[in-house]
């Protein structure tokens, strides 16, 4: 049944989720669907540590072993659970976390591992699947804020990233803010009045409508979407300005690039942005790993602990799924350059917030961190199912549609990590 056709009695959840992306084409959305969407005020904070964070120097240390490294361990808020000493603040918040210590994935290269992890490795590889942020944008929409549903705060360049959306269509791509700053020419010149600005945008809309005639909707929708989102963002320039924040916040998060970007992320979440990704680079420590860890991990510890504390204090953690991970972990073996190499076979990730059991520690590795516990670890398909379920989406039953082709939302042979779901 088409979502444009009035239902006799009720709507299935599949219809409701599908309508999030197709309602505009159907005219007015049925009130039952609109109400269901409005109920889901879930948000996501996705912290991506690009290059591969070492599980040994963070969530799963192995002290006094041949691969353990020079750092000590410290007790956490969970009895019997220890973190690396480089994470003192996260150790105090361990009872807020859901820790998966038996990640076991497939790819040991960045070029293969990054897209596979971020797309969830579905079984059907005949199409380009969306990144998780694009999937959340499609399924949950922008919410009441009207702000872009999927933003990416990162070092370096920014811009619109339609390729992240895969078969969902370019409008569900990420809007990236390079160096945590708004796009260039963000502010409207003072010489242009509100009336003039509206006339200019009306002219743009007419040109866009003319261009769209006779073309596929995707040919124009992304461009129009970016303009509309940019206009909304222009009214919220305050989201990017951390200079007016209290000195205490700047100190707590750390006066670092990651600390600054995490503060912008907090602003975005408070403003109602649906999915906020924060990326930190430099974690590919093939050489001088231990000095690198001594620099990188405390910066992460400060920023990540601070935003968890603030989300909880503001009453937002119950509705926000928080994720911190990389594309893989680091090798137990220490190479000739005093580094750790890529290691997808046994590594860790953490989650917190909505739909999860706080203080859960899932799985383990052996005494030297070489192998995951029997019978097997968790691949990224299971993690995607877990995320969807935490957000209230039954990915084992619901499906995506690529035109008329039904596709599994995550790997159909995998299941959620049940132990971590509330």
Assigned token pair, 128 = 């380009």
Q: Find, among 242, 232, 225, 243, the residue nearest to 173 by Cα.
A: 225
Task: Tell me: do 13 and 147 sit in the same domain.
Answer: no
Task: Tell me: do 170 and 270 sit in the same domain.
Answer: yes
Residue 343 falls inside a structural domain: yes
Task: Tell me: do 52 and 173 sit in the same domain.
Answer: yes
Q: Chain-wide mean pLDDT for the chain?
A: 87
Residue 201 falls inside a structural domain: no
Q: What's the pLDDT band for 34 if we cut at 50, 70, 90? A: very low
Q: Is the pLDDT of residue 219 over 90?
A: no
Task: Tell me: do 15 and 150 sit in the same domain.
Answer: no
pLDDT tens digit sequence for 147-168: 999 999 999 999 889 999 999 9
Task: Tell me: do 88 and 22 sit in the same domain.
Answer: no
Residue 133 falls inside a structural domain: yes
Strand partners, 46: 277, 323
Q: Which range is most confident: 166-180, 324-338, 398-412?
A: 324-338
Q: Tell which phi-psi region holds residue 335, choosing left (phi > 0), alpha (psi between -120 and 50) or beta.
A: beta
Cβ within 8 Å of residue 270, ≥6 positions away: 314, 316
Residue 304 falls inside a structural domain: yes
Task: Tell me: do 23 and 50 sit in the same domain.
Answer: no
CATH number reported for the structural domain that contains residue 279 in this entry:
3.40.720.10
Q: What's the structural domain count of the chain?
A: 2
Task: Tell me: do 35 and 82 sit in the same domain.
Answer: no
Q: What's the pLDDT band for 36 if we cut at 50, 70, 90? A: low
What CA–CA distance (Å, rounded) separates 109 from 147? 35
Task: Tell me: do 160 and 174 sit in the same domain.
Answer: yes
What per-residue confidence (pLDDT) applies to 122? 85
Task: Tell me: do 23 and 98 sit in the same domain.
Answer: no
The CA–CA distances, whole Å, from 137 to 43, 86, 168, 397 equal 10, 35, 10, 19
Task: Tell me: do 318 and 299 sit in the same domain.
Answer: yes
Task: Tell me: do 132 and 29 sit in the same domain.
Answer: no
What per-residue confidence (pLDDT) applies to 276? 98
Residue 206 falls inside a structural domain: no
Task: Tell me: do 58 and 180 sit in the same domain.
Answer: yes
Q: What's the pLDDT band for 234 if we cut at 50, 70, 90? A: confident
Asked if 412 contacts 397 with a C-beta cutoff of 8 angstroms, the reply is no
Q: pTM score, two decimals?
A: 0.86
**Domain of 19?**
1-39
pLDDT tens digit sequence for 86-131: 999 999 999 999 999 999 999 999 999 999 999 998 877 689 999 9
More confident residue, 3 or 412: 412
Cβ within 8 Å of residue 113, ≥6 positions away: 105, 107, 327, 328, 342, 344
Residue 210 falls inside a structural domain: no
Q: Is the pLDDT of residue 12 over 70?
A: no
């Amino acid at each position: 049944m088409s979502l444009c056709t009035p239902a006799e009695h009720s709507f299935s959840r599949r219809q409701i989720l599908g309508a999030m992306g197709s309602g505009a084409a159907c005219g007015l959305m049925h009130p039952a669907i609109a109400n269901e969407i409005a109920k889901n005020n879930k948000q996501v904070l996705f912290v991506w540590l690009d290059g591969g964070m070492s599980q040994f120097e963070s969530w799963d240390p192995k002290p006094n072993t041949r691969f353990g490294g020079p750092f000590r361990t410290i007790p956490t808020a969970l009895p019997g659970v220890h973190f690396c000493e480089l994470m003192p603040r996260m150790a105090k918040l361990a009872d807020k976390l859901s820790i998966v210590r038996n990640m076991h994935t497939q790819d040991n290269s960045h070029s293969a591992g990054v897209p596979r992890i971020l797309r969830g490795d579905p079984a059907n590889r005949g199409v380009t699947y969306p990144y998780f942020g694009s999937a959340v944008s499609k399924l949950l929409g922008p919410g009441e804020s009207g702000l872009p549903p999927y933003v990416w705060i990162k070092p370096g360049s920014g811009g619109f990233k339609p390729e992240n959306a895969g078969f969902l269509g370019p409008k569900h791509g990420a809007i990236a803010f390079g160096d945590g700053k708004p796009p260039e020419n963000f502010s409207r010149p003072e010489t242009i009045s509100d009336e003039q600005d509206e006339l200019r945008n009306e002219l743009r809309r007419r040109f866009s409508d003319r261009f769209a005639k006779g073309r596929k909707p995707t040919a124009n929708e992304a461009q129009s979407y970016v303009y509309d989102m940019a206009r909304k963002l222009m009214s919220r320039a305050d989201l990017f300005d951390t200079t007016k924040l209290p000195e205490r916040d700047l100190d707590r998060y750390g006066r670092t690039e990651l600390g600054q970007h995490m503060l912008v992320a907090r602003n975005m979440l408070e403003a109602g942005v649906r999915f906020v990704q924060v990326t930190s680079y430099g974690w590919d420590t093939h050489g001088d790993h231990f000095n690198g860890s001594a620099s990188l991990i405390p910066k992460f510890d400060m920023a990540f602990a601070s935003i968890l504390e603030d989300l909880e204090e503001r009453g937002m953690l119950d509705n926000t799924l928080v994720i911190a991970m990389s594309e893989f972990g680091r090798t137990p073996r220490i190479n000739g350059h005093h580094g750790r190499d890529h290691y997808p076979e046994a590594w860790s990730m953490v989650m917190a917030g909505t739909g999860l059991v706080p203080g859960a520690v899932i799985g383990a590795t052996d005494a030297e961190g070489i192998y995951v516990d029997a019978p097997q670890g968790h691949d990224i398909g299971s993690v995607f199912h877990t995320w969807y379920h935490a957000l209230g989406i039954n990915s084992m039953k619901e499906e995506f549609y690529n035109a008329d082709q039904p596709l599994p939302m995550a790997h159909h042979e995998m299941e959620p990590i049940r132990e971590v779901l509330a």
